[in-house]
Amino acid sequence: MRDARSFVRPRRRTRAIKVGSVQVGGDAPITVQSMTTTKTHDVDGTLAQVYALAGAGADLVRITCNTVEAAQGLAEIVPRSPVPIIADIHFQYRLALAALESGVCGLRLNPGNIRRPSHIKEVARAAAERQVPIRVGVNAGSLDKDILGRHGDATPEALVESALLEIRYLEEVDFYDIKISVKHSHVPTMIESYRLLSDEVDYPLHLGVTEAGPPPGGLIKSVAGISTLLMEGIGDTIRFSLTADPVVEAESGRRLLEYLGLRERRSLDLIACPSCGRAEVDVIEVAQVAQEALEKENLPIQVAVMGCVVNGPGEARSADLGIAAGRGRGHLFIKGEVVAVVPESEMVEALVSEGRRLVEEGVEARLAAADLSAAKEAEADRLRLLDIQPEANSAAERRQRVEIIARGAKT
């Protein structure tokens, strides 16, 4: 199969910036961000969440810096964090200066609520001294009132104008370590805003649908907006803004990049057929049990659970490993080749133990160790099942039916 990255439009060329040890933009992999929900002055609670987010796939974590105590908390959190920390600043530019003093690796400023150019420039000079980048984080919900008045609404043009104005203040003091976001909760508006912005600047872009809400709606909106842009080659770092445990945000962001082929697979990808009248097992239940059991093993492979042996192994041929049900048994297959036939009650167990071996020994070794009689047994099961459930997609049968209908229509 072709490298999935070749299906994505060439990535737009952006400047590279460094957020601590993590590069954003340039030729760096697209990164995942999330944000803590704890009170920042609760140092241990916040650190525990930062570790959970890093474990779930966050490359960068943002923490609010909304009080003096929060800034003090950051001074203790930053040196103990496993990933670079970005301080989120609203309204008080002095808290941006305090966050820089606490050692954060990045700042996020909202142009809508730090208004005075002199304040923005003072923060930029202090950030430049420490080589800390700034994200210009424009948000439809807190757009500058003048800009909003001129455009009549938080249109893509209004969001981009707000970002460009803020960037001009930063550039006026020779500050260029910038990344930008133009977030909106309406997915098409968000997409168009980033498209317009990407035509104007070469700074790296942070993608997100703001206030996306709880899953499943929030997840769907985030995936729709972020994926569309990533497939167009736009975007250097992403955040899912969900009304949910932020671990879900980080994990979802990471998985999205894996599914688009933009980051290496490091977690399980369980695929399963949607089930239909041909299913020989309760596919939903087997898939759920298999997912839980395999996730505990933390195996970075694609595993398929298919409801019947008639179509299952063929349809899931690209999966590393899979199981298909038929006549009380499970056909275990690797890359579409049946390697064992097991009782239905042992299907999940067989998937887990073969998954472990597959990761340890590799596909070639496991195919070589296959039970030679399994393929024959499996084919016999398949043919017996075909007698009961004739091939639904048979072209010959279909042609015959089409002919009968067509001739009938003529007469």
Residue 28 carries which side chain, given as an amino acid letter?
A
Contact indicator for 264, 230 with CB cutoff of 8 Å = no
210 is an interface residue for ligand SF4 by CB under 6 A: no
Pick one of 67, 72, 275, 291: the residue that binds ligand SF4 (CB under 6 A). 275
Least distance (Å) between residue 324 CB and ligand SF4: 7
Q: Which residue has the tokens 């080589």?
A: 131
Contact indicator for 237, 207 with CB cutoff of 8 Å = yes
Contact indicator for 128, 120 with CB cutoff of 8 Å = no
Least distance (Å) between residue 269 CB and ligand SF4: 18
216 is an interface residue for ligand SF4 by CB under 6 A: no
The pairing of strands 60-64 and 31-35 is: parallel
Q: Which residue is nearest to ligand SF4 (CB)?
A: 307
- Is the bond preceding residue 216 a cis peptide, omega within 30 degrees? yes
159 is an interface residue for ligand SF4 by CB under 6 A: no
281 is an interface residue for ligand SF4 by CB under 6 A: no
Least distance (Å) between residue 397 CB and ligand SF4: 16
Please, which of residues 307-346 interact with ligand SF4 by CB under 6 A?
A: 307-308, 310-312, 315
Closer residue to ligand SF4 in complex, CB, 85/270:
270
Least distance (Å) between residue 335 CB and ligand SF4: 17
Element (H, E) at 315: helix 312-315
Q: Which residue has the tokens 């898939």?
A: 287
Using the rule CB under 6 A, give the single segment among 12-20, 48-56, 253-261, 267-275 that binds ligand SF4. 267-275
What gap in Å lies between CA 304 and CA 260, rounded to an integer? 18
Pick one of 28, 164, 165, 279: the residue that binds ligand SF4 (CB under 6 A). 279
Using the rule CB under 6 A, give the single segment among 70-78, 176-184, 226-234, 303-311 that binds ligand SF4. 303-311
Least distance (Å) between residue 318 CB and ligand SF4: 14
Closer residue to ligand SF4 in complex, CB, 361/379:
379
Pick one of 278, 331, 366, 382: the residue that binds ligand SF4 (CB under 6 A). 278
193 is an interface residue for ligand SF4 by CB under 6 A: no
CA 223 to the chain's CA centroid: 7
DSSP-derived letter for residue 138 is: E
Comparing CA positions, the residue from 386, 259, 196, 407 lying closest to residue 310 is 386
User: What percent of the chain is helix, strand and coil (3-state, nearest 5)?
Assistant: 50, 20, 35
Pick one of 273, 305, 321, 347: the residue that binds ligand SF4 (CB under 6 A). 273
Closer residue to ligand SF4 in complex, CB, 276/386:
276
Contact indicator for 193, 226 with CB cutoff of 8 Å = no
Closer residue to ligand SF4 in complex, CB, 134/287:
287
Closer residue to ligand SF4 in complex, CB, 152/274:
274
Element (H, E) at 409: helix 395-410
Structure-token pair, residue 244: 């949910």
244 is an interface residue for ligand SF4 by CB under 6 A: no
Q: What number of H helices and E strands is found in the chain? A: 15, 15
Please give the residue ranges that form the binding site for ligand SF4 (CB under 6 A). 273-276, 278-279, 306-308, 310-312, 315
